[in-house]
Amino acid sequence: MKYILTCLAALSISGHVFGYDLANTLFWSAQDTTNMDTVKTSTKKRKVTIRFGNGVDNTVEVNTEEEHRKNDDKGMVRVQGKKPKVILGITLSRFDLGLATLIDNGSFTLSPENKFLDNRTWKTINVGFDVFQFGYRFDEKFRLFLSAGFDWTHIRLSNDIIFDRNTTPLSYTTSNIQYSKNRFSSSYLRIPITFEHRFGPDRELRLAYGPIGGFLLNGSQKFKSEEEGKRKVKDDFNYAKFRYGGFARIGYQSFGLFAKYYFNDMFENSPDQEGLKNFSFGVMLFF
């Protein structure tokens, strides 16, 4: 995770975000001259321009242009290529960094059955970003796209507990070791569908929302203590194999705020954790 965050910081400094828009727009034109019975058509070669990190879409753009010219006197007419409408490719965008919290049957206070999940609020975080996107730009004000990326939730536990591996339902034991760090984590492949609106003269104010799904990649628990040093255990820990919910984002240029809420339970096949859900909110870069 530290390596990923270091790479992201370097990318934000350089201002380059990898991705591309794929476009293939073809123009043709013909114009009758005023004093001639013949038609002249002149077409210049197709031009492909690749541009990195334009600060607007935070993607690499591939623009195809064909210019058609005619003489008036010579009568010159020039037609510019249109902005590509299809969005397809690799990207590094919508980097989320915020707080994660557990909602227990509609309450921010954990029930007695879930008290073992008490956590340190300011160290329980959500991190995520997109790496692929595919969609369509209807106009300068609206676009719709599907993306895919990664999403981590790190719960910094307050109690010295160790979750049991390969057990159903979720269970744990209390350790006699005092941990300076006890982090309970889940990692998901996230797949949101985004409806994005842009406002203002330069379309710099943005609002996005839509459904989001996720497939579990792995779960883990990481410990740190004087007795054991650093130790990490991997297991699915009964995390939901698939989760689904909704999200919203609002921002200006490349900076914004986000909120995500998952409708299904965090854990499956665990009756005591029924109604326990995941909610996160925070800041976002590379809108």
User: What pLDDT, on the 0 to 100 scale, is given for residue 42?
Assistant: 43
The topology under which CATH files domain 91-285 is Porin (2.40.160)
User: What pLDDT, on the 0 to 100 scale, is given for residue 49?
Assistant: 40
Which helix (H) or strand (E) segment holds residue 14: the answer is helix 2-14
Q: Mean per-residue pLDDT for 247-275?
A: 97
Q: Mean per-residue pLDDT for 55-66?
A: 43
Q: Quick one: tokens of 154?
A: 């790190």
Quick: pLDDT tens for 1-41: 554 445 444 444 444 333 333 333 333 333 333 333 444 44
| Cβ-defined contacts of 68-76 (< 8 Å, 24+) | 68/27, 68/28, 68/29, 68/41, 68/42, 68/43, 68/44, 69/42, 69/44, 70/29, 70/31, 70/33, 70/40, 70/41, 70/42, 71/33, 71/40, 75/31, 75/33, 75/34
User: What pLDDT, on the 0 to 100 scale, is given for residue 84?
Assistant: 74
User: What pLDDT, on the 0 to 100 scale, is given for residue 82?
Assistant: 58
User: What pLDDT, on the 0 to 100 scale, is given for residue 77?
Assistant: 44
How confident is the prediction for the chain on average, in pLDDT? Answer: 81
| Share of residues in the chain with pLDDT > 90 (%) | 70
Quick: pLDDT tens for 176-186: 999 999 999 99
Q: Where are the domains of the chain?
A: 23-83, 91-285
Quick: pLDDT tens for 68-96: 444 444 444 444 445 679 999 999 999 99
Quick: pLDDT tens for 196-240: 999 999 999 999 999 999 999 999 999 999 999 999 999 999 999
Distance CA 279, CA 248 (A): 12
